């Protein structure tokens, strides 16, 4: 067994030397390879080390590597014992949005939602590809997204991530009741990853983390995450959970080739230092990185007004899309698959949305190839 005395977690350095920029197939610099035939203890679960081996990567996160040294399709979520795919599925717009408030982002941000059958196909295609982590929230469609996820996933082997609160003006004291309502809609006794959707001036981070820890101890939550937290807020949440002996699993923020703020604002580095997985929402910049949209052909919904399609944003979009187009041709992949692969090779868990089966299949194919280090550098340069 490989473990740290008293904690059951892998003995790892507090910070990894690997920057995440390398895109080649070698094991990450600074990672430790574990020999086949051993097992690695993560939390309360023990994982066998296959012939390919495991690598202890950035911030103590564990990743499987193949015989060629390529990262496989799963990883450990932060320093928890929760094994997740390297790619998730965002389901904000799933469900019947007719009852959602007209201003609700789930109803307006991405244009018309898809049908029940289309969403069922998106789930089936994702599960067949090993993408079994679905990300939703109590706020999405006033519970409509959670309700649809519960309807479609009941009886399936899936991981569910959802979020508190249910409204912008909720108070911390409502967390236990909101969690119970989410579990009922999801038709599950426990949620795999429960996240605080956004920081709020009227909800203390320490109070929220203690309520989250209570939910973990009650067996209703497996892992705790946050979303849209700054580097400083991340440290506060991490420290509060640590006092209860619980790791902070993740911080979900906007991150893509067109939105790289987690790098200069310190969020990405802080995640790596603390062993927290960065989950990237809007990894395709609301469709801008698919190559389907231009200034003259903008997408439906609120996203058509994005700064991506104006001024400096448009210049960056055209430069990045040109690089994506070239790399997609070289790999016989789509532009969106190249953009998602860039995140995967930065040890980021991307959660692109998919309304239909073909969209889900396109997303999942990002796990089927590897970008060379020079190709990663080309994308970094184009998006800088």
Q: Tell me how far apart the alpha carbons of residues 8 and 44 are, in angstroms, rounded to a whole number.
A: 7
User: Is 194 annotated as catalytic?
Assistant: no
* Shared domain check, 43 and 63: yes
Are residues 92 and 231 part of one domain?
A: yes
Name the residue with higher pLDDT: 15 or 276.
276
Secondary structure of the chain: what % helix, strand, coil (to 5)?
40, 20, 40
- Whether 196 has a pLDDT exceeding 90, the answer reads yes
Phi, psi of 45 (to 5 degrees): -120, 145
CA of 8: how far to CAs of 33, 43, 273, in Å? 18, 5, 19
Residues 229-256 pLDDT 10s: 999 999 999 999 999 999 999 999 999 9
Q: Do 55 and 106 share a domain, yes or no?
A: no
State how many domains the chain has.
2
Q: Which residue has the tokens 């998919």?
A: 354
Residues 171 and 247 in one domain: yes
Q: Let me know whether 226 and 355 are in one domain.
A: yes
Quick: pLDDT tens for 143-189: 999 999 999 999 999 999 999 999 999 999 999 999 999 999 999 99
Asked if 10 contacts 60 with a C-beta cutoff of 8 angstroms, the reply is: yes
> Is residue 31 pLDDT above 60, yes or no?
no
- Taking the C-alpha atoms of residue 308 and residue 259, their distance in angstroms, rounded to an integer, is 10
Q: Which of 140, 255, 293, 309 is catalytic?
A: 140
Same domain, 54 and 157: no
The CATH number that applies at residue 224 is 3.20.20.100
Q: How many CB atoms lie within 10 A of CB 114?
A: 18
Work out whether strand 221-227 and strand 83-85 pair parallel, antiparallel, or are unpaired.
unpaired
| Structural domain contains residue 306 | no
Residue 241 lies in a domain: yes
* Residue 384 is assigned to a structural domain of this protein: no
- Alpha-carbon gap, residue 293 to 367, rounded angstroms: 24
Q: Which residues pair with 225 in a beta bridge?
A: 195, 250
Range of the domain at 168: 86-292+336-368
pLDDT of residue 103: 61
Alpha helix (H) residue ranges in the chain: 105-108, 116-128, 144-153, 175-186, 205-217, 231-242, 267-274, 311-331, 335-344, 357-364, 373-383
Give residue 101's pLDDT: 64
For residues 317 and 323, give the distance between their C-alpha atoms in angstroms, rounded to a whole number. Answer: 10
Confidence of residue 37 (pLDDT cuts 50, 70, 90): very low
Q: Is the pLDDT of residue 282 over 90?
A: yes
Per DSSP, 256 falls in state B
**Same domain, yes or no, for 177 and 238?**
yes
Q: Which of 1, 181, 4, 188 is nearest to 79 (CA)?
A: 4
Whole-prediction pTM: 0.81
Which pLDDT belongs to residue 4?
A: 30
pLDDT given at position 298: 66
The whole-number average pLDDT for the span 19-30 is 34
């Amino acid at each position: 067994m490989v473990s740290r005395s008293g904690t059951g977690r892998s003995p790892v350095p507090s910070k990894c030397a690997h920057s995440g920029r390398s895109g080649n197939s070698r094991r990450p610099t600074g990672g430790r390879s574990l020999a086949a035939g051993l097992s690695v203890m993560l939390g309360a679960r023990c994982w066998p080390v296959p012939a390919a081996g495991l690598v202890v990567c950035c911030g103590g996160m564990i990743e499987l590597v193949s015989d060629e040294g390529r990262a496989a399709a799963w990883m450990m979520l932060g320093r928890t014992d929760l094994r997740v795919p390297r790619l998730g599925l965002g389901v904000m717009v799933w469900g019947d949005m007719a009852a959602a408030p007209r201003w609700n982002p789930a109803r307006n941000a991405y244009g018309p939602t898809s049908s029940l059958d289309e969403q069922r196909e998106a789930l089936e295609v994702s599960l067949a590809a090993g993408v079994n982590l679905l990300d939703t929230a109590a706020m999405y469609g006033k519970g409509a997204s959670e309700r649809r996820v519960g309807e479609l996933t009941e009886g399936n082997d899936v991981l569910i991530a959802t979020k508190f609160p249910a409204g912008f003006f909720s108070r911390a004291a409502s967390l236990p009741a909101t969690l119970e309502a989410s579990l009922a809609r999801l038709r599950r006794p426990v949620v795999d990853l429960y996240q605080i959707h956004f920081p709020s001036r009227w909800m203390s981070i320490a109070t929220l983390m203690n309520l989250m820890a209570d939910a973990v101890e009650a067996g209703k939550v497996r892992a705790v995450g946050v979303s849209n937290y700054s580097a400083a807020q991340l440290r506060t949440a991490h420290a509060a959970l640590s006092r209860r002996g619980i790791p902070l699993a993740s911080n979900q923020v906007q991150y893509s080739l067109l939105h790289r703020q987690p790098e200069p604002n310190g969020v990405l580095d802080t995640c790596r230092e603390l062993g927290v997985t960065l989950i990237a929402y809007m990894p395709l910049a609301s469709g801008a990185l698919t190559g389907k949209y231009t200034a003259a052909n903008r997408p439906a919904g609120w996203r058509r007004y994005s700064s991506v399609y104006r001024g400096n944003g448009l210049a960056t979009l055209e430069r990045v899309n040109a690089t994506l187009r070239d790399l997609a041709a070289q790999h016989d992949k789509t532009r969106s698959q190249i953009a998602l692969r860039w995140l995967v090779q930065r040890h980021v868990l991307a959660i692109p949305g998919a309304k239909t089966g073909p969209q889900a299949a396109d997303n999942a194919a990002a796990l089927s190839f590897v970008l060379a280090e020079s190709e990663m550098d080309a994308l970094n340069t184009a998006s800088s």
